[in-house]
A and B are shown apart, each in its own frame.
Chain A
Amino acid sequence: MSTISIAVVIINVILALLFSLGAAPILVWIERRVAGLIQDRLGPNRCHINGIRLGGLIQSFADMLKLVFKEDFKAKAIQESFFFSLAPVIVFASAFLSFMVMPFADDLIINGERFIMQGLPMDLGVLWFLALAGLSVYGIMLGGWSSRNKYSLLGAMRAGAQVISYEAAMGLSVVSVLITYGSIHLGDIVAYQGQLLFGFIPAWGIIIQPIAALIFIITAFAEANRTPFDLAEGESEIVGGFHTEYSAMRFGLFFVGEYVAMSASSALIVTLFLGGYHLPYLNTQTLQAYMPFILMVLIVALPLGSWSAMRWIQKHNRWHKANDIRNHESAFLQKGLIGLNVLVIAGVGALLVLGLSETSTNVATAVIQIATFALKLLFMNFVFVWVRWTLPRFRYDQLQTLGWKVLMPLAIANIFISAIIVVARGL
């Protein structure tokens, strides 16, 4: 193994960590701030480190620290303490591992060596995700059962029944997608979505397979235990559901696991239906062919975007009390933005002036694709949060009815239709 290949593997692992584990505090922040703003409240905005509060992001880190240092309390009635401790680990690990097959960028070619840009370079793709996402419910059921608490047990039962009814519909909707793309490898699926449909529409999954996309997104909400399908928690009915008896970092693992699972589901939705790492109309080949132009557009667009961001910061990022240390934050953020601009423009300008070699074009493509993937992932996560603060929770029988009587027949019908279309096109 050469130095470059080791470096690329390490970068891949770090990126996978960032997108899943590193995203958890950011997602908690987004959840709380978006919830506040949607409900005409402020949300957490006071916590700061030397005046820097990043719109309240520091609060997430403070909360994490609190969870780590809290007393690890366990009720006396809990006898199966091994399973009690194992449960959050299963939830967290399965959510975390299911993220590892998401491709962040097209295969990177450096000096003739080909690297698959995902956390674990394997081509199990969708199957890996389905296997591990289904595993996480064992953690919930184990936790609910070993808690020795009727509310926990009720939550665990609900989670189990919910996953059984929604995993079927999810699997079937994925089958129709796989029939269309003809591969289970997520890299191939994304490459397929780089094409154009009828020559002018990007062939994204949501356009080719709208019904499968709808079913998959709905079942992904259920799979990640998010509202409107968060009956397993059901804090208004069964205290805290499966994590009633959990505290400190054991609860923290459940909590982070939920957000990692949400991020993993979003990543799969992006990969299957929203074109993965592709910018619309720019698949890898066109991106590489027009790289100088795209870099020039970047040089123009980045300062414009930063300028409007700075104007927003000047107007809104104020602390209501004069002479507070938090008032220095705006200047700091603006300096940071200017510094970022100078760095990026200098780097890209140097690339353009010196001329693009093949390797640098490939690396630039990968960076642009990773940024695109990150943005799409962020958007999809925002949709998860947005839906949570819009819709109320389903009643238990409504949930079962929707799963078995609506989504499942729809998914089966969709398989037949897509199979007929694929065969007819092949004739």
Chain B
Amino acid sequence: MGIKIVPRHGNTLKEKLYLPAIFGGMKTTLSHLITNLSDTPEIKTINYPEEQPHDISERYRGVHRLTKRDDGSVRCVACFMCATACPAECIFIEAEERNDGVDEKMPKRFDIDLLECVFCGACVEACPCDAIRMDSGIFSFIGKKREDFVLSKEQLLANEEKKA
């Protein structure tokens, strides 16, 4: 490996005058201004509430959803793996016995407090049954009071997978 000598800048008269560089910078900003006023603007902003973002990745961790079995019942077996893995301790599960012969246990209550949640995805990783996922694609969740942000089992089951 040889030694790379980086030339020092700022010692020539042109660089010490500063003004050529300042005018160069002003030329750049002016060209952006003129382009954006012309017929072909390059404005990157979207008009958000009316225009939705189109570049959200498929792997984006949105609001959680509880998946269903083929017969439409809840897939979760209330094993508490997600609640144990959760670093924010925002998952509250109450288990009950399942009597329909499909499985032995199911959640009676399954609440996620989105105000506590850090959207790390540890619950999805921890789930042995693929019962909780974060692929709903919901990136903005709105509520008028704190209680609105605690999602119940029914709300989580109602969230659909985002279609590409």
Tell me the complex Cα distance, A39–B31, Å. 11
Contact, CB under 8 Å: B29 / A38: yes
For the complex formed, measure the closest distance between the CB of B131 and the CB atoms of chain A, giving whole angstroms: 40
The answer to whether A1 has its CB under 8 Å from any CB of chain B is no
Query: Nearest chain-A residue to B47 (Cβ)?
Result: A320
Tell me the complex Cα distance, A24–B41, Å. 28
Chain A 407-421 interface residues, beta-carbon cutoff 8 Å to B = none
The answer to whether B73 has its CB under 8 Å from any CB of chain A is no
The answer to whether A77 has its CB under 8 Å from any CB of chain B is no
In the complex, what residues of B have CB within 8 A of residue A39's CB? 32
Binary flags per residue of A87-112, CB closer than 8 Å to B gives 1, else 0:
00000000000000000000000000
Dominant SS at the B interface?
helix
Tell me the complex Cα distance, A214–B23, Å. 13
Contact, CB under 8 Å: B45 / A391: no
Tell me the complex Cα distance, A17–B39, Å. 36
For the complex formed, measure the closest distance between the CB of B108 and the CB atoms of chain A, giving whole angstroms: 45
Binary flags per residue of A294-338, CB closer than 8 Å to B gives 1, else 0:
000000000000000000000110001100000000000000000
Tell me the complex Cα distance, A321–B28, Å. 32
Query: Nearest chain-A residue to B31 (Cβ)?
Result: A38
Contact, CB under 8 Å: A37 / B45: no
Binary flags per residue of B1-39, CB closer than 8 Å to A gives 1, else 0:
000000000000000000100100110111011001101
The interface stretch among A277-285, A351-359, A382-390 is A382-390
The answer to whether B44 has its CB under 8 Å from any CB of chain A is yes
Contact, CB under 8 Å: A387 / B26: yes
Tell me the complex Cα distance, A316–B41, Å. 10
Tell me the complex Cα distance, A316–B43, Å. 13
Tell me the complex Cα distance, A391–B41, Å. 23
Contact, CB under 8 Å: A37 / B26: no
Query: Nearest chain-A residue to B25 (Cβ)?
Result: A390
The answer to whether A34 has its CB under 8 Å from any CB of chain B is yes
For the complex formed, measure the closest distance between the CB of A62 and the CB atoms of chain B, giving whole angstroms: 18
Contact, CB under 8 Å: A40 / B29: no
Tell me the complex Cα distance, A36–B51, Å. 19
Q: Quick one: which of B26, B43, B51 contacts A390, CB cutoff 8 A?
A: B26
Tell me the complex Cα distance, A40–B45, Å. 8
Q: Quick one: which of B19, B22, B42, B47 contacts A40, CB cutoff 8 A?
A: B42
Tell me the complex Cα distance, A37–B25, Å. 15
Q: Quick one: which of B29, B39, B44 contacts A41, CB cutoff 8 A?
A: B44
In the complex, what residues of A have CB within 8 A of residue B51's CB? 320
Most A-side CB within 10 Å, residue of B26, B39, B42:
B26
For the complex formed, measure the closest distance between the CB of A381 and the CB atoms of chain B, giving whole angstroms: 15
Contact, CB under 8 Å: A37 / B37: yes
In the complex, what residues of B have CB within 8 A of residue A40's CB? 32, 36, 42-45
Tell me the complex Cα distance, A214–B18, Å. 13
In the complex, what residues of A have CB within 8 A of residue B28's CB? 390
Q: Which 6 A-B pairs have the closest CB atoms?
A: A37-B36, A42-B45, A38-B29, A390-B29, A390-B25, A321-B50
> 23 A-B residue contacts at CB 8 Å?
A34-B33, A36-B45, A37-B33, A37-B37, A37-B43, A38-B32, A38-B33, A38-B36, A40-B36, A40-B42, A40-B43, A41-B43, A42-B45, A316-B37, A316-B41, A320-B47, A320-B50, A321-B47, A389-B29, A390-B25, A390-B26, A391-B22, A391-B25
